[in-house]
Amino acid sequence: MPARIHLLGLLATTLIISIMVAQPILPLYLERHGLPTVEVGVLVGIMSLSLIVTEVGALAVSRRLGRRSTIVLGSVGAAATQLWFAVAATRPEWYLARLLFGAFRGLLWPLLFAEVADAAPAGRHGPAFAVFWLYFGVGLLIGPWLGGWIGDAFDLRTPLVASAVSCLVPLAFAPSITPRHDAPLSVGGSLRALVAHREIVTVWTLNGLHTTIYALFSTFLPLYAARVGLSATQIGLLFAVGSATFTLAQVPARRVLGRGTALAALGPAYVGRSAVIAAMPLLRSFGTLLGANALLGIVGAIIPPALSARLAVVTPAAYLVVAMGAQTAAADLGFFLGPVLGGIAASYGLLWPFLLALPIALVGAVLIRMRLGVKVTP
């Protein structure tokens, strides 16, 4: 793989650490302030609404500022708004800070995915995205463990401050982003052209279902784990071990993607991953929950790189930033719907957010069988 793929992967590592260092403690932090589970879900997910807007509109910013300057703007803005959230003490401040944080973060991922697609060697998009998602997984491994440890060592607000500070680390990798200004295409016109392509819309939908399932799990696992007696450090380790196995599984995933056979594994991956999530409330010890999270990372490892590679292959180059923006917007719609739907379900008992993952996964499996009946081109 070109060295630039690895640099872009390191940038992804820093970006995901900056968000995941707060993930294990955020539901606990909000619950400790007396918020009910429904409102915890809304506040966890609400930043995804502004993420969706700016991810779809990232092209408009990058064509004026250039890709590198847009990454810088998103990083600095995210740091400032996350710090505001950490020191805020009222509901209006929390909601506004979360929305603004999402707006700045939404400028980052579409450009980064487009850069990976541009840097991938011809005919090697699948392996290139597997390498990229391996680095992404390293961030998933480090961030939750670090956030849980900081929460136990200090207090539940400190990981939020650490998140704000780490939002600035990606600035060191900004030179790996090209300064190019994207072509002056209409965002609306580009979206209309892409929506006419059935397979592109299917990939977007599958990505949204994938993140809805993950958001159900990641929002309510900390609350469940705390109720069975786990500490913040142990909760962080639950996320970390799943991220470790997800990262390691990118090595065989890269080979599968290189052979172009990933679609055959996608349906079972959706259902199997959700079956593990649905079984979580049956587990009551740190060891069994740790093992389940390790299995979860392995089973779901093929999903993100397969979807990313498929979208890169079927999207015309001129529409790549918009397509990747809509892909990440679909993901963030899932990150909004998961906590909100899970919060409503949790009002009937903490078992229900985990069980809700199964019917969502079945919808994904049906879509894969009906709409993606071709091999993934490497």
Residue 378 lies in a domain: no
Whole-angstrom distance, CA of residue 147 vs CA of residue 5: 27
pLDDT surpassing 50 at residue 1? yes
Q: What is the pLDDT of residues 274-296, one digit of tens each?
A: 999 999 999 999 999 999 999 99
Whole-angstrom distance, CA of residue 144 vs CA of residue 140: 7
Residue 376 lies in a domain: no
Q: What is the pLDDT of residues 105-131, one digit of tens each?
A: 989 988 898 899 899 988 788 888 888
Residue 181 lies in a domain: no
Residue 191, number of CB atoms within 10 A of its CB? 17
pLDDT of residue 260: 58
Whole-angstrom distance, CA of residue 71 vs CA of residue 65: 10
The CATH number assigned to the domain holding 226 equals 1.20.1250.20
Question: For the chain, what is the domain count?
Answer: 1
Return the percentage of the chain with pLDDT > 70, whole number: 97
Residue 7 lies in a domain: yes
Where do the H-state alpha helices sit in the chain?
A: 3-20, 26-32, 37-45, 47-56, 58-65, 67-87, 91-105, 109-119, 125-153, 158-166, 187-195, 198-227, 232-248, 250-259, 263-279, 286-299, 303-314, 320-346, 352-355, 357-371
CA distance between the termini of the chain: 14
Q: What is the domain range of residue 118?
A: 3-172+187-371
Q: What is the pLDDT of residues 323-332, one digit of tens each?
A: 988 898 898 8
The CA distances from residue 210 to 20, 119, 150, 175, 332, in Å, are: 18, 26, 29, 32, 10
Q: What is the pTM for the complete model shown? A: 0.79
Show the tokens assigned to 148: 């849980």
Residue 312 lies in a domain: yes
Least confident of 49-53, 68-72, 105-109, 290-294: 49-53
